[in-house]
Chains A and B, each alone.
Chain A
Amino acid sequence: MMHDLQETTRRHFFSRCGMGLGSIALGSMMSDQAQANPFAPKHPHFKPRAKNVIYLFMGGGPSQLELFDWKPELSKRHGQDIPESFIKGKRFAFMNSSFKKANKLLGPTRQFERHGQSGIWVSDLFPHIASITDEISVVKSCKTELFNHAPAKLFMNTGTGLFGRPSMGSWVTYGLGSESQSLPGFVVLQSGSRGPRGGAVNWASGFLPTTFQGVPLRGSGDPILNLASPKGVSAQSQRDSLDALKALNLKRLMETGDEEIRTRIASYEMSYQMQSSAPELIDISGETQATLELYGAKPGQASFANNCLLARRLVERGTRFVQLYHTNWDHHGGPGETLTKDLEKVTHDVDQGCAALIRDLKSRGLLDDTLVIWGGEFGRTPMSEARKTPGRNHHIDAFSMWFAGGGVKPGNVVGETDEFGFDSVGRECHVHDLHATILHLLGMDHEQLTFRFQGRDFRLTDVAGHVIEPLLA
């Protein structure tokens, strides 16, 4: 009987879920849509270049001028006033009347060199990332709209600074489902001194069903909330409980004819799968010494490097969207936020793991199917802030991100900035454009991935967004 149920369930899922996205958007209006297995893989709009995403989110706003955007002219004009034409009409965080006077141009504080065949500029803060420049595409002309951390993070994740909208990972799993039936489709990993500003709203599903919200893998305690059975409840007892539940729920299904019960049974089964698959996932002790050394990961010690390794293990196991957060990149100057010691620490925290992830994915043949994204919510100003030690303010008009893997042109640079690194020049890459491009690489048309809410068909890209062609392989 149980076997029968599994068969029917499977048939039911596949018969209901082989539909395209248009009908998903339509179906979202109908409560009966809930009958379908929400986790099943779905077809994209067109042939995808990438199947999975690993998004390395650098919370706080990394300084492009210390990392990828080499500005010799800024170096020459160090200490001078910024020409009025640059800042006229612009708004900044912590703005006051003494702003211009106090904020002189600040030359790059690091040494830059060209790396690899591609000759991409990378500073001495990133020796490992410098070694993979031929795999990545650096976008130097990113633009956003909001200059405070939490709204800007939301903007980067959800396409709006307003709380309550679905995040990119939710949109992607809503559109594509997941390949894994024993792990969540959208997983969040965190490292660094504190949680990202805004917290869970960054991976929330907003008005999309909660099925699609990011599931944080926790650094301590259960890797997934309530994953472990209560103390004293053995695996056998848990299995017995699920069998009894299944028998009784199935009986109710027959009596009421309510297909929602079938989804409930499937949810319980998946939760049981997760009880064994999630601990297996986070146990990295079975990785070879060479792999652990490549990442600089240590079993049992939470770190960005461990999370990078977990990200690879997740996509290997079919998770669609993995997002890593690492804080704190907020280098205003002053205690804890210096461009010297503090920036050196945070770059050191992530450098090896990022490069290792790319190499490891490549050597396993996973890089072709996996889009890797690196970046923060905004960049930093070419001007210094008037604090105890030099630092840079939040900057929204030009900052750098990099992309690698599935469908991304390797060894490539997109966009430029002016001589001070103040404004984007050439192909400007607004956040909406980045989103459109990410969806495009996953085989989705950003204008067709919609969900009706408050009388409108909402999109990740709001009413904007153009695919960034120069980024594509």
Chain B
Amino acid sequence: MKLAILGPLSRNYEEIRLLEEGKKLFDTVSYFPIPQVVIETNGKGSELTFKNKKLINYDVILPRIPRTYKNFGTSIIEALYASGKSLPLEPWSIIASHNKFLTLVRLAEKGIPVPETHLSLKRSVLESVFDDMTYPLVLKLLYGSKGVGVMFADSKQSAISIMDALERFDEPMFVESFIPPGNEDIRAYVIGNKVVASMKRVAHEEERRANIGMGGEGFPYKLTTEEKKLAIKSAKAMGTQICGVDIMSSPDGPVIIETNVNAQFQGIEKATKKNIAKKILTYVKGRVHEK
């Protein structure tokens, strides 16, 4: 069986681990750097190649599409999907997942609790909510990963200043309610209909963001039944079978903050000692057998 991993030009821990485990589970493993894939479109459809290798000839294709290549990556996945190739995610989930607000809308549609969040293109439009929400507020741009682009405002004046600065990017910006204690969250790694690993992430002493990339630390954590159900439901709502789901515990119960179709697993492998790479590949291989 042939495996193709579609990933960034420069391989991260995750891609290296997947290649490592892939060689044990598959007869052939190839790495397709996303930017070097060519999409040729004509009246018969689209053909995807990399150095004369056709992507369609692989039994299993595992996409690892970072934010930088979300548009081009979506083109590739969309063409594969249209050709009948079985993939662990739907093409729209890449774009939707990288749009943090659209993610919340999608989750809310499916009855999944999300924080109160407001979005606009102009700071002045959002100012009306600054008086109604409880401080601190969480301020974000639509895109961002590993905690980058997340800011906190402890007062209305501070919120206005931050929003004024964000407005210069000419991108949609949003304000989200803060869920105390704020310096920790839960990451659940969903594969198929299961949560295969979960950890609590605690922010570094001088930080509020718990992301591992921001210096946060991960500890093994056992999800409650409700948290587990929500994580699985969230992945399904976002059209993906492999997903990192971020959960926070609010006074009203667990709340989903974010989903990530290109979730890293270095931190969770280290914290839980579970072989996430192997679990991912075993799952995608099994899907092909099922068909």
* A and B together in one complex: no
Which residues of chain A have a CB within 8 Å of any CB of chain B? none
